[in-house]
Amino acid sequence: MSGSLNPSSLARLLGRWNVGAAPAYRELADVVRLLVLDGRVALDVALPSERSLAVTLGTSRTTVTAAYALLREQGFLSGGQGSRSRSRIPGHGAATAGGNDDGRRLSGAPGLAVPDGILDLAYASLPASGEVVHRAFAAALTELPALLPGFGYDALGVGPLRAAIAARYTAAGVPTTAGQILVTSGAQHALNIVLRTLAGRSGKVLVEHPSYPNALDAIRAAGCRTVTVAMPAAPRAGTAAPVHDGGGAAGWDLEAMESALVQQRPAMAYVVPDFHNPTGRLMPDSQRRRLVASAAAAGTVLVVDETLRELNLDGAQSTPMAAFSPAVVSIGSLSKSHWAGLRTGWIRASEPLIQRFAAARTTFDLGGPVVEQLAAAHLVNDLAEPLPARLAALRENRDTLLKLVRGHLPGWEPERPDGGLSVWCRLPDPVSTALAVLAPDFGIRLAAGPRFGVGGAFEHYLRLPFTLPPEQLETAVVALRAAQARLDGAPQLRRSLPAQPAAAIA
Ligand SMILES: Cc1ncc(COP(=O)(O)O)c(C=O)c1O
Protein backbone atom coordinates (compact mmCIF):
# COMPACT_ATOMS: atom_id res chain seq x y z
CA MET A 1 0.00 0.00 0.00
CA SER A 2 1.45 3.37 -0.90
CA GLY A 3 1.50 6.31 1.49
CA SER A 4 3.87 8.86 2.87
CA LEU A 5 5.98 9.24 5.95
CA ASN A 6 6.28 12.60 7.65
CA PRO A 7 9.68 13.78 8.91
CA SER A 8 8.94 13.29 12.60
CA SER A 9 7.67 9.71 12.09
CA LEU A 10 10.81 8.84 10.16
CA ALA A 11 12.96 10.56 12.78
CA ARG A 12 11.32 8.44 15.48
CA LEU A 13 11.99 5.26 13.52
CA LEU A 14 15.57 6.30 12.90
CA GLY A 15 16.30 6.63 16.61
CA ARG A 16 19.95 7.40 17.33
CA TRP A 17 21.16 6.95 13.76
CA ASN A 18 24.35 9.01 13.87
CA VAL A 19 26.83 7.37 16.20
CA GLY A 20 29.83 8.81 14.37
CA ALA A 21 31.22 5.47 13.20
CA ALA A 22 31.04 6.44 9.53
CA PRO A 23 30.24 9.54 7.44
CA ALA A 24 26.83 10.83 8.51
CA TYR A 25 25.18 10.33 5.10
CA ARG A 26 26.25 6.68 5.12
CA GLU A 27 24.95 6.12 8.64
CA LEU A 28 21.64 7.68 7.69
CA ALA A 29 21.39 5.54 4.56
CA ASP A 30 22.29 2.38 6.53
CA VAL A 31 19.52 2.90 9.06
CA VAL A 32 16.90 3.78 6.43
CA ARG A 33 17.92 0.67 4.52
CA LEU A 34 17.43 -1.49 7.63
CA LEU A 35 14.02 0.09 8.21
CA VAL A 36 12.95 -0.74 4.66
CA LEU A 37 14.37 -4.23 4.82
CA ASP A 38 12.65 -5.25 7.98
CA GLY A 39 9.34 -3.60 7.13
CA ARG A 40 9.33 -0.71 9.57
CA VAL A 41 9.17 1.50 6.50
CA ALA A 42 6.68 -0.18 4.15
CA LEU A 43 7.33 -0.45 0.44
CA ASP A 44 6.30 2.34 -1.93
CA VAL A 45 6.08 4.89 0.84
CA ALA A 46 7.02 8.48 0.00
CA LEU A 47 9.88 9.61 2.24
CA PRO A 48 10.02 13.18 3.54
CA SER A 49 11.64 15.77 1.31
CA GLU A 50 15.37 16.20 1.82
CA ARG A 51 14.88 19.67 3.22
CA SER A 52 12.20 18.75 5.77
CA LEU A 53 14.08 15.68 6.96
CA ALA A 54 17.30 17.66 7.35
CA VAL A 55 15.48 20.25 9.47
CA THR A 56 13.81 17.60 11.64
CA LEU A 57 17.02 15.65 12.15
CA GLY A 58 19.06 18.79 12.75
CA THR A 59 21.53 17.77 10.09
CA SER A 60 22.64 19.35 6.86
CA ARG A 61 20.64 19.02 3.70
CA THR A 62 23.81 17.73 1.98
CA THR A 63 23.83 14.75 4.36
CA VAL A 64 20.24 13.82 3.56
CA THR A 65 20.75 14.39 -0.18
CA ALA A 66 23.82 12.14 -0.17
CA ALA A 67 22.01 9.47 1.91
CA TYR A 68 19.03 9.46 -0.47
CA ALA A 69 21.39 9.30 -3.45
CA LEU A 70 23.17 6.30 -1.96
CA LEU A 71 19.87 4.55 -1.23
CA ARG A 72 18.75 5.24 -4.79
CA GLU A 73 22.00 3.79 -6.10
CA GLN A 74 21.52 0.68 -3.92
CA GLY A 75 17.97 0.21 -5.16
CA PHE A 76 16.22 1.13 -1.89
CA LEU A 77 14.64 4.36 -3.17
CA SER A 78 12.97 5.25 -6.41
CA GLY A 79 11.93 8.64 -7.75
CA GLY A 80 13.66 11.87 -6.72
CA GLN A 81 14.48 14.78 -9.02
CA GLY A 82 11.22 16.63 -8.65
CA SER A 83 9.11 13.74 -7.32
CA ARG A 84 9.16 12.35 -3.77
CA SER A 85 11.58 9.49 -3.17
CA ARG A 86 9.73 6.25 -2.47
CA SER A 87 10.92 3.17 -0.58
CA ARG A 88 11.60 -0.01 -2.51
CA ILE A 89 13.66 -3.19 -2.29
CA PRO A 90 16.10 -4.06 -5.07
CA GLY A 91 14.42 -6.36 -7.55
CA HIS A 92 10.91 -5.35 -6.52
CA GLY A 93 8.97 -3.03 -8.76
CA ALA A 94 6.99 -0.30 -7.09
CA ALA A 95 4.37 -1.87 -4.85
CA THR A 96 0.79 -1.54 -5.99
CA ALA A 97 -2.39 -1.53 -3.95
CA GLY A 98 -2.41 -5.30 -4.35
CA GLY A 99 1.04 -5.72 -2.86
CA ASN A 100 4.44 -6.10 -4.42
CA ASP A 101 4.27 -6.98 -8.04
CA ASP A 102 7.31 -8.74 -9.28
CA GLY A 103 8.49 -11.00 -6.47
CA ARG A 104 9.97 -13.78 -8.56
CA ARG A 105 9.70 -17.47 -7.86
CA LEU A 106 13.02 -19.08 -7.16
CA SER A 107 13.72 -22.30 -8.95
CA GLY A 108 13.76 -25.13 -6.45
CA ALA A 109 11.44 -23.25 -4.12
CA PRO A 110 8.13 -23.30 -5.92
CA GLY A 111 5.77 -20.71 -4.57
CA LEU A 112 8.40 -18.81 -2.64
CA ALA A 113 8.08 -15.23 -3.81
CA VAL A 114 11.23 -13.25 -3.14
CA PRO A 115 12.80 -10.20 -4.72
CA ASP A 116 14.84 -11.14 -7.73
CA GLY A 117 18.20 -12.46 -6.67
CA ILE A 118 17.69 -12.05 -2.91
CA LEU A 119 17.43 -15.13 -0.70
CA ASP A 120 14.98 -14.33 2.05
CA LEU A 121 16.12 -15.59 5.45
CA ALA A 122 13.86 -13.19 7.34
CA TYR A 123 10.75 -15.31 6.87
CA ALA A 124 10.51 -18.68 8.58
CA SER A 125 7.67 -19.85 6.39
CA LEU A 126 7.07 -22.41 3.68
CA PRO A 127 5.30 -22.45 0.33
CA ALA A 128 1.85 -24.09 0.34
CA SER A 129 1.29 -27.80 0.29
CA GLY A 130 -0.14 -26.78 -3.07
CA GLU A 131 -2.09 -29.78 -4.29
CA VAL A 132 -3.62 -30.49 -0.88
CA VAL A 133 -4.70 -26.87 -0.44
CA HIS A 134 -6.09 -26.68 -3.96
CA ARG A 135 -8.15 -29.83 -3.46
CA ALA A 136 -9.58 -28.47 -0.21
CA PHE A 137 -10.71 -25.27 -1.95
CA ALA A 138 -12.33 -27.26 -4.77
CA ALA A 139 -14.32 -29.22 -2.16
CA ALA A 140 -15.17 -26.00 -0.30
CA LEU A 141 -16.66 -24.47 -3.44
CA THR A 142 -19.04 -27.39 -3.83
CA GLU A 143 -20.21 -26.85 -0.22
CA LEU A 144 -20.59 -23.11 -0.51
CA PRO A 145 -24.13 -22.99 -1.96
CA ALA A 146 -25.53 -24.44 1.28
CA LEU A 147 -24.20 -21.43 3.20
CA LEU A 148 -25.14 -18.71 0.76
CA PRO A 149 -28.63 -18.14 2.18
CA GLY A 150 -27.06 -17.19 5.55
CA PHE A 151 -25.83 -13.68 6.42
CA GLY A 152 -22.19 -14.69 6.17
CA TYR A 153 -21.23 -13.02 9.48
CA ASP A 154 -20.03 -15.45 12.11
CA ALA A 155 -17.70 -14.14 14.79
CA LEU A 156 -17.07 -17.66 16.09
CA GLY A 157 -16.32 -19.28 12.74
CA VAL A 158 -18.17 -21.75 10.52
CA GLY A 159 -19.50 -24.88 12.23
CA PRO A 160 -17.65 -27.55 10.22
CA LEU A 161 -14.27 -25.96 10.90
CA ARG A 162 -14.91 -25.47 14.61
CA ALA A 163 -16.01 -29.11 14.82
CA ALA A 164 -12.93 -30.29 12.93
CA ILE A 165 -10.55 -28.35 15.20
CA ALA A 166 -12.36 -29.59 18.32
CA ALA A 167 -12.13 -33.18 17.07
CA ARG A 168 -8.44 -32.75 16.55
CA TYR A 169 -7.87 -31.64 20.16
CA THR A 170 -10.06 -34.47 21.40
CA ALA A 171 -8.02 -36.99 19.40
CA ALA A 172 -4.84 -35.53 20.91
CA GLY A 173 -6.16 -36.25 24.42
CA VAL A 174 -7.81 -32.90 25.19
CA PRO A 175 -11.60 -33.38 25.06
CA THR A 176 -12.97 -30.31 23.29
CA THR A 177 -16.37 -29.17 22.01
CA ALA A 178 -16.96 -26.94 19.00
CA GLY A 179 -18.18 -24.33 21.52
CA GLN A 180 -14.62 -24.11 22.83
CA ILE A 181 -13.22 -23.01 19.47
CA LEU A 182 -13.10 -19.56 17.90
CA VAL A 183 -11.77 -19.44 14.33
CA THR A 184 -9.43 -16.54 13.59
CA SER A 185 -7.48 -15.11 10.67
CA GLY A 186 -4.27 -16.76 11.83
CA ALA A 187 -2.47 -17.06 15.15
CA GLN A 188 -1.42 -13.42 15.18
CA HIS A 189 -5.06 -12.33 15.00
CA ALA A 190 -5.84 -14.85 17.75
CA LEU A 191 -3.17 -13.35 20.01
CA ASN A 192 -4.52 -9.85 19.45
CA ILE A 193 -8.02 -10.96 20.43
CA VAL A 194 -6.66 -12.67 23.54
CA LEU A 195 -4.61 -9.62 24.51
CA ARG A 196 -7.57 -7.30 24.01
CA THR A 197 -9.70 -9.53 26.25
CA LEU A 198 -7.33 -10.64 28.98
CA ALA A 199 -4.39 -8.33 29.40
CA GLY A 200 -5.92 -4.86 29.52
CA ARG A 201 -3.90 -1.73 28.86
CA SER A 202 -0.79 -1.47 31.02
CA GLY A 203 -1.27 -5.09 32.03
CA LYS A 204 1.81 -7.26 32.33
CA VAL A 205 2.47 -10.14 29.95
CA LEU A 206 5.18 -12.67 30.71
CA VAL A 207 7.15 -13.75 27.64
CA GLU A 208 10.05 -16.03 26.93
CA HIS A 209 13.15 -14.11 25.92
CA PRO A 210 13.80 -14.51 23.00
CA SER A 211 10.31 -14.75 21.61
CA TYR A 212 8.33 -14.44 18.39
CA PRO A 213 8.79 -10.81 17.22
CA ASN A 214 5.25 -10.23 15.98
CA ALA A 215 3.91 -11.41 19.33
CA LEU A 216 6.21 -8.96 21.14
CA ASP A 217 4.96 -6.22 18.81
CA ALA A 218 1.33 -7.16 19.47
CA ILE A 219 1.87 -7.06 23.23
CA ARG A 220 3.52 -3.66 22.95
CA ALA A 221 0.83 -2.36 20.60
CA ALA A 222 -1.85 -3.50 23.06
CA GLY A 223 -0.27 -1.15 25.60
CA CYS A 224 0.94 -4.02 27.79
CA ARG A 225 4.29 -4.37 29.51
CA THR A 226 6.45 -7.41 28.84
CA VAL A 227 7.94 -9.36 31.71
CA THR A 228 10.81 -11.19 30.03
CA VAL A 229 12.17 -14.49 31.28
CA ALA A 230 15.42 -15.54 29.66
CA MET A 231 15.55 -18.88 27.91
CA PRO A 232 18.72 -20.61 29.11
CA ALA A 233 21.54 -20.31 26.60
CA ALA A 234 22.36 -23.50 24.75
CA PRO A 235 25.46 -25.17 26.15
CA ARG A 236 28.59 -23.71 24.51
CA ALA A 237 30.84 -26.04 22.57
CA GLY A 238 33.05 -28.01 24.92
CA THR A 239 31.06 -27.20 28.07
CA ALA A 240 28.75 -29.47 30.04
CA ALA A 241 25.02 -29.01 29.42
CA PRO A 242 23.25 -27.26 32.29
CA VAL A 243 20.75 -29.45 34.07
CA HIS A 244 17.12 -28.35 33.78
CA ASP A 245 14.02 -30.09 34.97
CA GLY A 246 13.54 -32.80 32.36
CA GLY A 247 14.53 -30.38 29.54
CA GLY A 248 16.59 -31.08 26.46
CA ALA A 249 19.96 -29.44 25.94
CA ALA A 250 18.75 -26.15 27.37
CA GLY A 251 14.97 -26.15 27.76
CA TRP A 252 13.20 -23.45 29.77
CA ASP A 253 14.24 -21.95 33.07
CA LEU A 254 11.23 -22.91 35.17
CA GLU A 255 12.64 -21.43 38.38
CA ALA A 256 12.99 -18.04 36.67
CA MET A 257 9.49 -18.30 35.21
CA GLU A 258 8.06 -19.18 38.59
CA SER A 259 9.73 -16.33 40.39
CA ALA A 260 8.56 -13.86 37.68
CA LEU A 261 5.03 -15.20 38.08
CA VAL A 262 5.14 -14.85 41.86
CA GLN A 263 6.79 -11.41 41.90
CA GLN A 264 5.14 -9.74 38.91
CA ARG A 265 1.75 -11.46 38.88
CA PRO A 266 1.28 -10.85 35.13
CA ALA A 267 -2.25 -10.93 33.74
CA MET A 268 -1.08 -13.25 31.00
CA ALA A 269 1.87 -15.43 30.07
CA TYR A 270 2.53 -16.03 26.36
CA VAL A 271 4.64 -19.11 25.65
CA VAL A 272 5.59 -21.20 22.62
CA PRO A 273 6.38 -24.61 24.09
CA ASP A 274 6.11 -26.49 20.79
CA PHE A 275 9.21 -25.79 18.73
CA HIS A 276 9.66 -22.36 20.15
CA ASN A 277 10.34 -19.56 17.70
CA PRO A 278 13.28 -18.83 17.34
CA THR A 279 15.09 -21.64 19.24
CA GLY A 280 13.07 -24.63 17.98
CA ARG A 281 12.97 -26.15 21.48
CA LEU A 282 10.24 -28.48 22.70
CA MET A 283 9.15 -28.10 26.30
CA PRO A 284 9.11 -31.45 28.12
CA ASP A 285 5.89 -32.57 29.80
CA SER A 286 7.35 -32.22 33.29
CA GLN A 287 7.96 -28.50 32.64
CA ARG A 288 4.54 -28.09 31.05
CA ARG A 289 2.82 -29.50 34.13
CA ARG A 290 4.86 -27.27 36.42
CA LEU A 291 4.28 -24.13 34.39
CA VAL A 292 0.52 -24.68 34.22
CA ALA A 293 0.39 -25.10 38.01
CA SER A 294 2.59 -22.06 38.68
CA ALA A 295 0.55 -19.83 36.36
CA ALA A 296 -2.67 -20.94 38.06
CA ALA A 297 -1.18 -20.22 41.50
CA ALA A 298 -0.21 -16.71 40.38
CA GLY A 299 -3.62 -16.02 38.85
CA THR A 300 -1.98 -15.68 35.41
CA VAL A 301 -3.74 -16.90 32.27
CA LEU A 302 -1.39 -19.14 30.35
CA VAL A 303 -1.67 -18.52 26.61
CA VAL A 304 0.05 -21.21 24.60
CA ASP A 305 0.96 -20.63 20.96
CA GLU A 306 0.92 -24.00 19.16
CA THR A 307 1.48 -22.59 15.66
CA LEU A 308 4.57 -24.75 15.11
CA ARG A 309 3.33 -27.89 16.89
CA GLU A 310 3.04 -30.02 13.75
CA LEU A 311 6.64 -29.35 12.71
CA ASN A 312 8.02 -32.09 14.92
CA LEU A 313 11.27 -33.06 13.23
CA ASP A 314 12.50 -35.77 15.55
CA GLY A 315 9.21 -37.34 16.61
CA ALA A 316 9.55 -36.37 20.30
CA GLN A 317 6.33 -36.85 22.27
CA SER A 318 4.68 -34.03 24.17
CA THR A 319 1.24 -33.41 25.62
CA PRO A 320 -0.78 -30.37 24.53
CA MET A 321 -0.62 -27.88 27.37
CA ALA A 322 -4.44 -27.70 27.60
CA ALA A 323 -4.44 -31.32 28.80
CA PHE A 324 -3.02 -30.10 32.11
CA SER A 325 -5.71 -27.53 32.88
CA PRO A 326 -9.02 -26.29 31.45
CA ALA A 327 -7.82 -22.75 32.19
CA VAL A 328 -5.12 -22.85 29.50
CA VAL A 329 -5.83 -20.80 26.37
CA SER A 330 -4.39 -22.42 23.23
CA ILE A 331 -3.71 -20.71 19.93
CA GLY A 332 -3.25 -22.69 16.73
CA SER A 333 -2.80 -22.07 13.01
CA LEU A 334 -2.58 -23.73 9.62
CA SER A 335 0.18 -21.32 8.57
CA LYS A 336 3.09 -23.68 9.18
CA SER A 337 1.48 -27.06 8.57
CA HIS A 338 -0.19 -25.97 5.29
CA TRP A 339 0.25 -22.37 4.22
CA ALA A 340 0.36 -18.91 5.77
CA GLY A 341 -1.72 -17.65 2.85
CA LEU A 342 -4.74 -19.47 4.25
CA ARG A 343 -4.78 -16.94 7.12
CA THR A 344 -6.60 -19.45 9.28
CA GLY A 345 -5.99 -20.01 12.96
CA TRP A 346 -7.99 -20.55 16.11
CA ILE A 347 -8.31 -20.15 19.85
CA ARG A 348 -9.26 -23.03 22.15
CA ALA A 349 -10.51 -22.07 25.61
CA SER A 350 -13.46 -22.60 27.95
CA GLU A 351 -16.85 -21.82 26.39
CA PRO A 352 -17.44 -18.65 28.49
CA LEU A 353 -14.02 -17.32 27.54
CA ILE A 354 -14.66 -18.10 23.87
CA GLN A 355 -17.82 -15.98 24.09
CA ARG A 356 -15.76 -13.11 25.53
CA PHE A 357 -13.19 -13.51 22.74
CA ALA A 358 -16.00 -13.43 20.14
CA ALA A 359 -17.28 -10.17 21.62
CA ALA A 360 -13.76 -8.68 21.59
CA ARG A 361 -13.20 -9.89 18.04
CA THR A 362 -15.88 -7.65 16.61
CA THR A 363 -13.68 -4.64 17.28
CA PHE A 364 -11.17 -6.10 14.79
CA ASP A 365 -13.45 -7.81 12.27
CA LEU A 366 -16.84 -9.49 12.08
CA GLY A 367 -15.73 -12.99 11.16
CA GLY A 368 -13.55 -14.82 8.67
CA PRO A 369 -14.17 -15.50 4.97
CA VAL A 370 -16.44 -18.52 4.55
CA VAL A 371 -14.82 -20.36 1.63
CA GLU A 372 -11.43 -20.26 3.36
CA GLN A 373 -12.96 -21.75 6.48
CA LEU A 374 -14.72 -24.52 4.57
CA ALA A 375 -11.43 -25.36 2.88
CA ALA A 376 -9.62 -25.24 6.21
CA ALA A 377 -12.12 -27.75 7.65
CA HIS A 378 -10.98 -30.25 5.02
CA LEU A 379 -7.35 -29.54 5.81
CA VAL A 380 -7.85 -29.96 9.56
CA ASN A 381 -9.85 -33.18 9.06
CA ASP A 382 -6.92 -34.57 7.13
CA LEU A 383 -4.19 -32.71 8.93
CA ALA A 384 -1.53 -35.36 8.58
CA GLU A 385 -1.67 -35.56 4.79
CA PRO A 386 0.99 -33.02 3.75
CA LEU A 387 3.16 -33.48 6.82
CA PRO A 388 5.40 -36.48 6.03
CA ALA A 389 6.80 -34.87 2.86
CA ARG A 390 7.08 -31.48 4.56
CA LEU A 391 8.90 -32.91 7.57
CA ALA A 392 11.27 -35.03 5.48
CA ALA A 393 12.32 -31.95 3.46
CA LEU A 394 12.67 -29.84 6.61
CA ARG A 395 14.77 -32.49 8.34
CA GLU A 396 17.16 -32.55 5.39
CA ASN A 397 17.25 -28.74 5.28
CA ARG A 398 17.93 -28.47 9.02
CA ASP A 399 20.74 -30.99 8.94
CA THR A 400 22.24 -29.35 5.85
CA LEU A 401 22.10 -25.90 7.42
CA LEU A 402 23.75 -27.09 10.64
CA LYS A 403 26.53 -28.75 8.64
CA LEU A 404 27.01 -25.69 6.45
CA VAL A 405 27.21 -23.30 9.39
CA ARG A 406 29.69 -25.50 11.22
CA GLY A 407 31.74 -25.90 8.04
CA HIS A 408 31.76 -22.33 6.74
CA LEU A 409 31.37 -20.21 9.85
CA PRO A 410 33.81 -21.26 12.54
CA GLY A 411 32.94 -19.62 15.85
CA TRP A 412 29.22 -19.56 15.07
CA GLU A 413 27.30 -21.82 17.43
CA PRO A 414 24.04 -23.06 15.95
CA GLU A 415 21.61 -24.76 18.34
CA ARG A 416 20.07 -27.94 16.93
CA PRO A 417 16.28 -27.40 16.99
CA ASP A 418 13.84 -30.20 17.91
CA GLY A 419 11.41 -28.86 15.31
CA GLY A 420 10.03 -25.72 13.76
CA LEU A 421 11.60 -23.83 10.92
CA SER A 422 14.73 -22.14 12.21
CA VAL A 423 18.10 -22.46 13.87
CA TRP A 424 19.01 -19.98 16.61
CA CYS A 425 22.68 -19.31 16.20
CA ARG A 426 25.10 -17.65 18.61
CA LEU A 427 27.58 -15.38 16.85
CA PRO A 428 31.16 -14.90 17.99
CA ASP A 429 30.55 -11.12 18.25
CA PRO A 430 27.50 -8.90 18.83
CA VAL A 431 27.07 -8.01 15.17
CA SER A 432 23.63 -9.33 14.28
CA THR A 433 22.16 -5.99 13.21
CA ALA A 434 25.30 -5.03 11.32
CA LEU A 435 25.06 -8.35 9.45
CA ALA A 436 21.39 -7.71 8.65
CA VAL A 437 22.28 -4.28 7.27
CA LEU A 438 25.07 -5.67 5.10
CA ALA A 439 23.21 -8.82 4.05
CA PRO A 440 21.46 -7.45 0.92
CA ASP A 441 24.85 -6.55 -0.55
CA PHE A 442 25.51 -10.28 -0.44
CA GLY A 443 22.13 -11.32 -1.83
CA ILE A 444 20.35 -12.27 1.40
CA ARG A 445 17.79 -10.75 3.75
CA LEU A 446 18.09 -11.40 7.47
CA ALA A 447 16.07 -10.75 10.62
CA ALA A 448 18.56 -9.48 13.19
CA GLY A 449 18.67 -11.10 16.64
CA PRO A 450 17.34 -8.02 18.51
CA ARG A 451 14.04 -8.40 16.68
CA PHE A 452 13.42 -11.43 18.90
CA GLY A 453 13.96 -9.58 22.13
CA VAL A 454 13.21 -6.51 24.14
CA GLY A 455 15.54 -3.57 24.68
CA GLY A 456 18.17 -4.47 22.08
CA ALA A 457 19.05 -7.92 23.44
CA PHE A 458 20.35 -10.70 21.18
CA GLU A 459 22.91 -8.80 19.11
CA HIS A 460 24.92 -11.98 19.67
CA TYR A 461 22.30 -14.13 17.89
CA LEU A 462 20.86 -14.67 14.46
CA ARG A 463 17.84 -16.76 13.49
CA LEU A 464 18.51 -18.80 10.38
CA PRO A 465 15.42 -20.41 8.86
CA PHE A 466 15.88 -23.71 7.04
CA THR A 467 12.94 -23.23 4.74
CA LEU A 468 15.05 -22.92 1.59
CA PRO A 469 16.23 -26.06 -0.21
CA PRO A 470 19.81 -27.27 0.47
CA GLU A 471 21.45 -25.69 -2.57
CA GLN A 472 20.02 -22.27 -1.69
CA LEU A 473 20.99 -22.74 1.94
CA GLU A 474 24.53 -23.28 0.76
CA THR A 475 24.41 -20.06 -1.29
CA ALA A 476 23.01 -18.25 1.77
CA VAL A 477 25.67 -19.55 4.15
CA VAL A 478 28.46 -18.68 1.72
CA ALA A 479 26.92 -15.20 1.51
CA LEU A 480 26.88 -15.00 5.32
CA ARG A 481 30.54 -15.93 5.38
CA ALA A 482 31.28 -13.12 2.91
CA ALA A 483 29.23 -10.64 4.96
CA GLN A 484 31.06 -11.71 8.11
CA ALA A 485 34.40 -11.26 6.31
CA ARG A 486 33.35 -7.72 5.27
CA LEU A 487 32.58 -6.97 8.92
CA ASP A 488 35.86 -8.45 10.09
CA GLY A 489 37.67 -6.14 7.67
CA ALA A 490 35.69 -3.02 8.61
CA PRO A 491 35.30 -2.74 12.38
CA GLN A 492 33.49 0.62 12.03
CA LEU A 493 30.54 -1.32 10.64
CA ARG A 494 30.23 -3.32 13.86
CA ARG A 495 27.87 -1.11 15.65
CA SER A 496 24.39 -1.53 16.94
CA LEU A 497 21.54 0.12 15.12
CA PRO A 498 18.32 0.85 17.00
CA ALA A 499 16.35 -2.36 17.56
CA GLN A 500 12.69 -1.71 17.05
CA PRO A 501 9.57 -3.73 16.25
CA ALA A 502 8.62 -4.48 12.67
CA ALA A 503 6.22 -6.53 10.64
CA ALA A 504 8.03 -8.02 7.69
CA ILE A 505 9.25 -11.19 9.31
CA ALA A 506 7.47 -14.34 10.40
C1 LIG B 1 5.15 -18.72 17.18
C2 LIG B 1 4.35 -18.10 16.08
N3 LIG B 1 3.14 -17.61 16.34
C4 LIG B 1 2.39 -17.05 15.39
C5 LIG B 1 2.84 -16.95 14.10
C6 LIG B 1 1.97 -16.29 13.08
O7 LIG B 1 1.04 -17.22 12.63
P8 LIG B 1 -0.13 -16.85 11.64
O9 LIG B 1 0.43 -16.84 10.26
O10 LIG B 1 -1.11 -17.96 11.83
O11 LIG B 1 -0.68 -15.53 12.04
C12 LIG B 1 4.10 -17.46 13.76
C13 LIG B 1 4.62 -17.33 12.40
O14 LIG B 1 5.80 -17.48 12.17
C15 LIG B 1 4.87 -18.05 14.79
O16 LIG B 1 6.08 -18.55 14.54
CATH number where 55 lies: 1.10.10.10
Same domain, 400 and 365: no
Q: Is 272's C-beta closer than 6 angstroms to any atom of ligand 1?
A: yes
Same domain, 408 and 463: yes
- Residue 504 within any structural domain of the chain: no
187 alpha carbon – ligand 1 mean position (Å):
5
Confidence of residue 238 (pLDDT cuts 50, 70, 90): low
Q: What's the pLDDT at 493?
A: 64
Closest to 306 (Cα-Cα) out of 296, 318, 294: 318
118 alpha carbon – ligand 1 mean position (Å):
23
Same domain, 222 and 123: no
Same domain, 189 and 316: yes
In the predicted model, what is the mean pLDDT of residues 413-438? 94
- Report the atom number in ligand 1 closest to the C-alpha of 186: 10
Residue nearest to atom 2 of ligand 1 (CA): 307
Distances (CA, A) of 182 to 14, 154, 206, 290, 309: 39, 10, 23, 27, 18
Same domain, 406 and 451: yes
Same domain, 35 and 59: yes
Find the Cα–Cα–Cα–Cα dihedral 158, 161, 165, 168, rounded to 10°.
Answer: 150
Q: What's the pLDDT at 345?
A: 98
Domain CATH number, residue 190: 3.40.640.10
Question: Alpha-carbon distance 206 to 224, whole Å?
Answer: 10
Q: Is 484's C-beta closer than 6 angstroms to any atom of ligand 1?
A: no
Residue after which a domain boundary falls, among 348, 381, 414: 381
409 pLDDT higher than 80: yes
Residue after which a domain boundary falls, among 339, 357, 381: 381
Q: What's the pLDDT at 342?
A: 96
Q: What's the pLDDT at 31?
A: 84
Confidence of residue 344 (pLDDT cuts 50, 70, 90): very high
Confidence of residue 112 (pLDDT cuts 50, 70, 90): very low
Q: What's the pLDDT at 468?
A: 94
Do the Cβ atoms of 357 and 182 come closer than 8 Å? yes
Number of domains in the chain: 3
Same domain, 392 and 371: no
Q: What's the pLDDT at 84?
A: 87
Residue nearest to atom 4 of ligand 1 (CA): 187
Residue nearest to atom 14 of ligand 1 (CA): 506
Q: Is 277's C-beta closer than 6 angstroms to any atom of ligand 1?
A: yes
Confidence of residue 114 (pLDDT cuts 50, 70, 90): very low
Confidence of residue 105 (pLDDT cuts 50, 70, 90): very low
Please tell me the pTM assigned to this model. 0.79
Closest to 214 (Cα-Cα) out of 345, 47, 359: 345
Same domain, 285 and 410: no
191 alpha carbon – ligand 1 mean position (Å):
10
397 pLDDT higher than 90: yes
Q: What's the pLDDT at 97?
A: 26
- Residue 506 within any structural domain of the chain: no
Q: What's the pLDDT at 287?
A: 96
Q: Is 465's C-beta closer than 6 angstroms to any atom of ligand 1?
A: no
106 pLDDT higher than 90: no
- Residue 152 within any structural domain of the chain: no
Q: What are phi and psi of 85, to 5 degrees?
A: -75, 135
- Residue 472 within any structural domain of the chain: yes
169 alpha carbon – ligand 1 mean position (Å):
19
413 pLDDT higher than 90: yes
Name which residue leads in pLDDT, 287 or 118: 287
Residue nearest to atom 7 of ligand 1 (CA): 187
pLDDT in tens, 453-492: 998 889 999 999 999 999 999 999 999 999 999 888 776 6
103 pLDDT higher than 50: no
165 pLDDT higher than 60: yes
Q: What's the pLDDT at 74?
A: 82
**Bond before 115 cis per omega within 30 degrees:** no
Share of the chain above pLDDT 70, in %: 88
Beta bridge partners of 434: none
Task: For the chain, give the mean pLDDT.
Answer: 87
Contacts of 453-456 with CB under 8 Å at 24 or more apart are 453/209, 453/210, 453/211, 453/216, 453/228, 453/499, 454/207, 454/209, 454/216, 454/226, 454/228, 455/499, 456/496, 456/498, 456/499
Same domain, 208 and 294: yes
Q: What's the pLDDT at 311?
A: 97
- Residue 238 within any structural domain of the chain: no
Confidence of residue 243 (pLDDT cuts 50, 70, 90): very low
Region of poorest pLDDT, from 86-90, 278-282, 380-384: 86-90
Region of poorest pLDDT, from 142-151, 306-315, 380-389: 380-389
Same domain, 395 and 488: yes
Same domain, 395 and 483: yes
- Residue 427 within any structural domain of the chain: yes
Q: Which domain holds residue 427?
A: 107-129+387-493
- Report the atom number in ligand 1 closest to the C-alpha of 188: 11
Q: What's the pLDDT at 92?
A: 52
- Residue 151 within any structural domain of the chain: no
Same domain, 327 and 191: yes
Residue nearest to atom 3 of ligand 1 (CA): 307
- Residue 102 within any structural domain of the chain: no
184 pLDDT higher than 60: yes
Q: What is the 3-state secondary structure (H, E, C) of 322-378?
A: HHHCCCCEEEEECCCCCCHHHCCEEEECCHHHHHHHHHHHCCCCCECCHHHHHHHHH
In the predicted model, what is the mean pLDDT of residues 114-130? 81
CA angle 444/445/450 to nearest 5° reads: 135
Question: Alpha-carbon distance 367 to 297, whole Å?
Answer: 34
Q: What's the pLDDT at 34?
A: 78
Q: Is 211's C-beta closer than 6 angstroms to any atom of ligand 1?
A: no
Confidence of residue 47 (pLDDT cuts 50, 70, 90): very high
